[in-house]
A and B are shown apart, each in its own frame.
Chain A
Amino acid sequence: MKVYSIYILNKAGGLIYQNDVNAGLNKLSANDYLVLAGTLHGVHAISARLNPTINGKDTTSEANASPNAQILTTGRFQDSNGNRSGLHSIETDLFNLYVFQSLTGIKFIVITSPNPVVYNIQTVKKREDVIASKGELNKSYEEANGVFKQLYVIYSDYVMKDPFYSLDMPIKSHLFDAKVKELIS
């Protein structure tokens, strides 16, 4: 898995950090990146609305209950990724996109190369041809989750502890840039 790009969105869906770590994606104009971030933020919000109803079952309460219970009992939140019911990932022919969210509402978006397993569109000749599950996507999600966790640590260390950084504003720290580069390579 090769990480193409990393975006960080603030609570309101504004793009505060954007870094094309490896080549692979199109270069967009600054405005298009903002639109993209806004769209993802919106889709994430819509997804959270859709999630409980799409199967006719209400799953919101349990999804929200487990992290809350965890915090109450252990005093700390075990999993730094608070993205329970919203948009998790997108798989396309040429890239995978993962959305992670801190409990405070900051979104970390990681765009990676697609899964190496290539499924071609073909007619189903035998039932066995339908190879549905290998759990590959869940594995790569976990892998991306690893990247997110380290990224979150770097963000806390080099952005939050930066006295010259004002919250929700674009991150312009060279130190953070360098650390992100270090993490990816």
Chain B
Amino acid sequence: MAIYSFFIFDRHCNCIYNREFTHLDHTNGTSVGQVNRNNDSNTSKLLFGILYSLKTISSKLIDSEESESIISNALKSFTIGNYRIHYLESLTRLKFVLVSDNDIDNLQTVLWELYSNYFIRNVVQNSLSPVEFKQSDDIKENETSGKINNSNFINETDDFLQSLPFF
């Protein structure tokens, strides 16, 4: 069992956080992998495209009026090849995505924890961090602004995910 990567997309379809874990060295406790390297890569764009399509399908196939308790049928996860992709969308249309292997059934609680605790505390309540990540075109030289780049968020989410028994 393993968790491979963690993405956050904002409501403008940008990948605002991307963390990839490399599972080479299990004895070494330090975090390995990349942070915010592939935000604009094809991988994150394709992933977003898939998410978006599947979300549409899952809400289309279920009549929301019949099932009163659930506002719309939420996509929880999907499997491609040997990976399972876990998905949680906040009501503010932030999308939290974890990529794991096929043996992990459900990471909804983990995603919720990442959103409700780590994201809220380190991004929303941190007034030095933006909450609006839309890039205007003329600030390309300031590469950090379109991503979550503060060390508290990165370190705390890393610690949280790596402390999970199935990491």
Contact = CB atoms under 8 A, between A and B. Distances in A.
Query: B interface, how many residues as a size bin?
Result: 35 or more
Given A54-B83, A137-B84, A40 B50 contact: no
B2 to A, nearest CB: 9
A19 interface: no
Nearest to B112: A121
Contacts of B108: 119, 121
Contact of B102 (A50, A54, A138): A138
Contacts of B53: 39, 42-43
B126 to A, nearest CB: 20
Given A92-B58, A132-B107, A137-B84, A49 B73 contact: no
A: interface residue count bin: 35 or more
Contact of B67 (A55, A85, A94): A94
A160 interface: no
B132 interface: no
A135 B106 CA distance: 10
B80 A95 contact: no
Which among B56, B67, B102 has the highest number of chain A CB atoms within 10 Å?
B102
Contacts of B43: 50, 53-54
Sorted nearest first, the 4 A-B pairs with minimum C-beta distance are: A88-B79, A47-B80, A51-B81, A92-B58
Given A87-B80, A132-B107, A132-B165, 14 more contacts: A28-B60, A46-B50, A51-B80, A84-B81, A86-B81, A92-B58, A111-B61, A121-B88, A121-B108, A124-B112, A130-B165, A131-B106, A131-B109, A133-B166
Interface of B: 1, 4-5, 20, 22, 42-43, 46-47, 49-50, 53-54, 56-58, 60-63, 67, 70, 73-84, 88, 99, 102-110, 112-113, 116-117, 163-166
Interface of A: 25-26, 28, 32, 36, 39-40, 42-43, 46-51, 53-56, 59, 63, 84-95, 97, 111, 115, 117, 119, 121-124, 127, 129-138, 141
